[in-house]
Amino acid sequence: MFFVKSLNLRLKVLLLSNASFIILLLGIAIGIRQPILQRFAWLEQEIMQKKLVRVADRFVQLVEMLDSSAKAETIWTEMYVYMEERHPTFYRDTYSFEGMAISIIDVFGMLDRKGNFIHLDWIDRRSQQLKPLPEPSRADLLRARQLISFPEDCNLALRDSRNLAIIPTTDKPLLVVSRPILTRDATGPHRGTFLMGLFIDGKFLTQLEKYNNLELELTPISSVKSSNRNLSNIATNISNIVQISPDIRVLDKEWIMGEIYLLNGDRQPIQILSVRAPRLEYQQGEKTLNQLTGVLFIVGISLNIIISLLLDKSIRNQQLLKMSEVALQVANQELQKLANLDGLTWIANRRCFDQFLNQEWTRAIRERHPITLILCDIDYFKSFNDTYGHLRGDECLSDVARAISLAVRRSSDLVARYGGEEFAIVMPNTDLEGGMLVAQAIQEQVRNLQIEHTGSSIGSYVSVSIGISTLVPTQGIAPEALIEQSDRNLYSAKQQGRNQIAFA
């Protein structure tokens, strides 16, 4: 009878505690989960917008490469003479498939001063020949020649003159850059126009995808109605042929999408470049919340078990002790993990850096491998704090820490906050060349942040100075030698004007 009464009491207590725990979980799910997920969704939108800017910037870089190639063809004497005399062998001797195929271009040609085409060829890489541009596409360029040629009586500053347009052709859109044909010293009068073009197709998209973990798809704008609807919200102008839509759409749990508009010479949209990216930030937020819920669930179950053990101490005493030991071990592991992290940036702290460097130094001595150390310092960070305040300064440190972590991709490397506005990257089994590649990637990631810094004497945005050193450790050399060498190189980078990479 006593056992039954005790059992009933135990069940009552367990049922009450379980009900309380379920109510607590529901309260957390309703009151906390959605606001947190919403913040992750906002973060996701901001990051996606930055990715769109990077894709558009890469597009503009391709344009500049095209323009540089066109400019090189227009300011040499032989070309200038040819446009006047039209010697029949010049074009054949100068432009061959082998010479043109190594460039990124697909189409090139020449127009006289009146805007009439003298040559208009495309590079057929499949047959390995230069061929006249097919008639439908040639007709499209003829209709658009006022966008790419220069007037006969042009009085502009010809040295820096260029035309830039996306022309819809029968086959596919053609990005065209043209420049006036001038003398060697880039003076006039001009004797015609030289153009180079790049088809915006799968090969072109591969160029854009190369530097981003993204999926790109190019589609024509199908109707004026949809075009007007989208363009009404265009917020970002990258150049006179590229505009970014601020409307970012969530496709499903896995993907998010933004759009970049490609404009023709009249600045009207003719193509939509759809950019899809995995929802890594949002998925990480969901994962974190699920882990938090799981931890709370485990804590609640543990409390119920403890209550049960207290009601039946004589039977459950051994299990209670075992669970206490497990809980203590988990807590110690969590404390150890937190002890190695910087509380502001959530990367490794100085203590973790020292331990990791000593550990890898010993390993490098044993295996006779090089070890590279990169020290980064945010330029004019004191001025940044004085200008924007310490809260913005903390945000800047966190953003730069994340940018550095993105640039350092190997799991065997360590990114740590070295102190103040300094960061350190330890790269085991890495030579100086590998360290330089990572340093350049760090500077690129920090530039992509575009954190405004009006207090900087070298630019409008936050930048970093970097010192790199590489050693093959031996028994007679301490890790401090590597640190001192990197620190000297960092000082040298600052002396050279900041936003530099110095190495030895």
Place of tokens 């530097």: 211
List helix spans (H) across 214-349: 224-231, 280-311, 313-339
Calpha distance 244→269 (Å, rounded):
11
DSSP assignment of 156-214 equals S-GGG--EEEEE--SSS-EEEEEEE---TTS-SS---EEEEEEE-SHHHHHHHHTTSS-
Which listed residue (44, 259, 360, 421) is catalytic?
421
Q: Which two tokens stand for residue 216?
A: 């790109």
E-strand stretches of 336-388: 371-378
Calpha distance 47→445 (Å, rounded):
13
Q: Which two tokens stand for residue 11?
A: 């069940």
Calpha distance 14→46 (Å, rounded):
46
CA distances from 369 to 128, 436, 472 (A): 46, 17, 6
- Tell me if 458 sits within 8 A of 498, measured CB to CB: yes
CB neighbours (10 Å) of residue 78?
12
CA distances from 283 to 213, 246, 278, 409 (A): 16, 22, 9, 20
> What single-letter DSSP state applies at residue 134?
P
H helices, E strands: number in the chain: 16, 17
433 is catalytic: no
Calpha distance 349→424 (Å, rounded):
10
Calpha distance 137→148 (Å, rounded):
15
Q: Bridge partners of 249?
A: 257
Edge to edge, the sheet with strand 501-503 lists: 414-419, 422-428, 371-378, 464-471, 501-503
CA distances from 306 to 194, 315, 496 (A): 83, 13, 64
DSSP assignment of 69-131 equals HHHHHHSSHHHHHHHHH--HHHHHHH--HHHHHTSS-SEEEEE-TTS-EEEEEEEETTTTEEE
Calpha distance 92→96 (Å, rounded):
7
Cα 113 from chain centroid (whole Å): 43
Calpha distance 92→75 (Å, rounded):
19
- Residues with catalytic function: 421
